[in-house]
Amino acid sequence: MLICAAAVPATAGAEKKPKGAKEIERYPPSWRLKVKDAIDAGVMHLRNTQHPTGHWGNPEGKQAMGHTALPTLTLLKSGVRADDPQIKLALKALRKMKIRMTYSVGIYMMLIQALYQPKLDTWDTDIGKDRHKRIKPKQVYKKLSEQDRKALEEGVAYLRKAQNASGLWHYDIRADGETNHDLSNAQYALLGLRAAADCGVKVPAAVWRDALVALFVHQDAKGPKVMLLDERVRGDYVMRSKIPAMARGFHYTTGKANGPKGEKTVWKQPATGSMTTAGVACVAICMEGLWRSRKFRGAERKKARDSIQDGLAWMQKQFSVTENPGHPKKAHHLYYLYGLERMGMLVGKRWIGEHDWYKEGADVLLELETWGNHVQTSFAVLFLKRATRGTQLPVITGD
C-alpha cells in the first residue's frame, strides 16, 4: 500500500474514469526538457567545483563531511554512476573523515544508501510509482561493501548517542541530560537513520518513537480552522475532497518567551515553511519506522496523522515557492525548496492546496540566473530531481 497521490505516465484507455475524477495533466515534453537541461547544468557546476582531492568546501571545517557528501549525493541522484571517477574520488575523501556532526553523518548515510538504490531517469519529471520503490532492506544489506556497512553502523551508533534527552538532535553529541536541539538537525538525523534502515541496518523502534513524541512539541498546539484540499490518485485520474484541519506550523526550536497570557506563551521563533516541511517530513519518517511496532498505538497514530494534516494545512495557507514563508528575513529559500520536495514526496502530494508545488517551484528555479555554491546548487538539483523516496504507508490524510 503506497501513498500514491502523484502523477503517473498517461496510458490512454487503460482504465475507466472514476466518478467525479479529473484526468491528471502531464508536464509538457518541452518543459521537461528545460528541467533536464537545468539538472545537467547543475551537475556540471558540481563537477567543476570539486577540489582535485575529491572534496567540496573546507576539508578542515566541522561540517567537512556534509559539504562533500551533499554534492556527491546529488550527483548520484542525478544519474551519475557510482563508478564515475569523481564519485570515487569523493568517496575516497569521505572515508578518511570522522563520523561526527549530525548534519554530516545524516547526509553521508543518505549518500551510501544512494549507491545501492536504482537510478531514476533524469528525463522523468512526472511522479510515478517507482519513486516509492524500496528494495527489500535485507537484499540491500547483502550487497553492502564491508566499508559501507561499517560506516552505516557507525552512523547509527553516533546518531543514537547524539539523540539527547529531548528525543531529538543538535549539532553534535551533547552531555548526558542536555536537551538542546533543533528541528533542522533532527530532520537530517532522521533522514540518515531512514537511509540506514533502507539498507537493512537495524534502527530500534525507541529511536523513532522518542523523536516522534518530541516532534509534536515543535508544532503549534492550535491554529486557525482550514478546509484542507486532499487528493486521491487512481491511475491517470485524481479525485479531490476537503478535510477539516487546523493550520499548525512547526518551529525551529521549542523556546518560548513570556507573553500577555503568562509565562512562556509566545514562541521565540515563528513557524516557517522550512521548519513546517521538515516537521511534516520527520513525522512521516517516524511513522514509517514505527508502522509495525506494537508500541505505536491507535491514539499516537492518530496524533501523528493529525500532525501531518495540520502541517499541510499550514502550508496550504502560507504556500509560497518564491520565499521561505513565515521567515522574518525570508532566508534559506533553496533550503526550504528542498524541504518542500521531501515533504511532498514523503507524504505523496502533488498539490498543496491548489498549488502544483513541483511545477511552481521548478519554474522559479529555472528563472534564477544562478543557484549559488555547491550547497545551494545541490538543494536546487535535488528538488528538480525529486530525489526523495516516498513512504510506503497507507494514505495518512483524509478518511
pLDDT digits (tens, 9 = 90+) for 336-351: 999 999 999 999 888 9
- Mean pLDDT score, 91-101: 96
- Mean pLDDT score, 3-21: 53
Please check the confidence at residue 384 and state whether its pLDDT lies above 80.
yes
3-state helix, strand, coil in the chain (%, to 5): 50, 10, 40
Predicted local confidence at residue 394, as pLDDT: 62
Lowest model confidence (mean pLDDT) among 100-109, 264-273, 360-369: 264-273
Can you tell me the distance from the alpha carbon of 22 to that of 245, in angstroms, rounded to the nearest whole number? 24
In this prediction, residue 9 has a pLDDT band, given cuts at 50, 70 and 90, of very low
pTM beyond 0.85: the answer is yes
For residue 82, give the C-alpha cell.
557510482
Lowest model confidence (mean pLDDT) among 13-17, 44-48, 290-294, 319-323: 13-17
Can you tell me the distance from the alpha carbon of 9 to that of 27, in angstroms, rounded to the nearest whole number? 10
Please check the confidence at residue 85 and state whether its pLDDT lies above 60.
yes
Predicted local confidence at residue 395, as pLDDT: 56
Long-range Cβ pairs for the range 284-287 (8 Å, 24+): 284/308, 284/343, 284/346, 284/347, 284/391, 284/393, 284/396, 285/190, 285/191, 285/193, 285/194, 285/208, 285/346, 285/391, 286/190, 286/208, 286/209, 286/211, 286/212, 286/215, 287/212, 287/391, 287/393, 287/396
Lowest model confidence (mean pLDDT) among 57-61, 185-189, 237-241, 278-282: 237-241
Q: Is 12 exposed, middle or buried (0-12, 13-18, 19+ CB in 10 A)?
A: exposed
Beta carbons within 8 Å of 376's beta carbon, 6+ residues apart:
334
Please check the confidence at residue 292 and state whether its pLDDT lies above 50.
yes
Can you tell me the distance from the alpha carbon of 314 to that of 306, in angstroms, rounded to the nearest whole number? 12
Pick the more confident residue, 294 or 267.
Answer: 267
Please check the confidence at residue 13 and state whether its pLDDT lies above 70.
no
DSSP 235: T
Predicted local confidence at residue 185, as pLDDT: 97
Can you tell me the distance from the alpha carbon of 172 to that of 161, in angstroms, rounded to the nearest whole number? 9
Q: What is the pLDDT of residues 104-153, one digit of tens each?
A: 999 999 999 999 987 766 666 665 555 666 789 999 999 999 999 999 99
Predicted local confidence at residue 51, as pLDDT: 98
N-term to C-term CA, the chain: 15
- Residue pointed to by grid coordinates 554530516: 104
Q: What is the dihedral of CA 275, 280, 285, 291, to 10 degrees?
A: 150
- Mean pLDDT score, 299-312: 95
Q: Taking every pair of C-alpha atoms in the chain, what is the biggest distance, in angstroms? A: 62
Which residues on neighbouring strands pair with residue 226, listed in sequence order? 245
In this prediction, residue 231 has a pLDDT band, given cuts at 50, 70 and 90, of confident
* Dihedral (CA of 48, 51, 52, 54) sign: negative
Lowest model confidence (mean pLDDT) among 5-19, 68-82, 259-273, 323-337: 5-19
- φ, ψ of residue 159 to 5 degrees: the values are -70, -30
Q: What is the dihedral of CA 395, 396, 398, 399, to 10 degrees?
A: 80
Percentage, residues of the chain above pLDDT 90 = 73
Predicted local confidence at residue 11, as pLDDT: 42
What is the DSSP pairing of strand 355-356 with strand 256-259? unpaired
Are residues 184 and 252 in contact, defined by beta-carbon separation less than 8 angstroms? Answer: yes
In this prediction, residue 1 has a pLDDT band, given cuts at 50, 70 and 90, of very low
Please check the confidence at residue 158 and state whether its pLDDT lies above 60.
yes
Please check the confidence at residue 399 and state whether its pLDDT lies above 90.
no
In this prediction, residue 183 has a pLDDT band, given cuts at 50, 70 and 90, of very high
Mean pLDDT value across the chain: 90
Are residues 1 and 122 in contact, defined by beta-carbon separation less than 8 angstroms? Answer: no
Predicted local confidence at residue 8, as pLDDT: 37
Predicted local confidence at residue 295, as pLDDT: 79
Please check the confidence at residue 297 and state whether its pLDDT lies above 70.
yes
| Of 291, 342, 290, 288, nearest in space to 315 by CA | 342
For the chain, domains (ranges, CATH) are 25-385 (1.50.10.20)
Pick the more confident residue, 6 or 367.
Answer: 367
Please check the confidence at residue 56 and state whether its pLDDT lies above 70.
yes
Predicted local confidence at residue 132, as pLDDT: 63
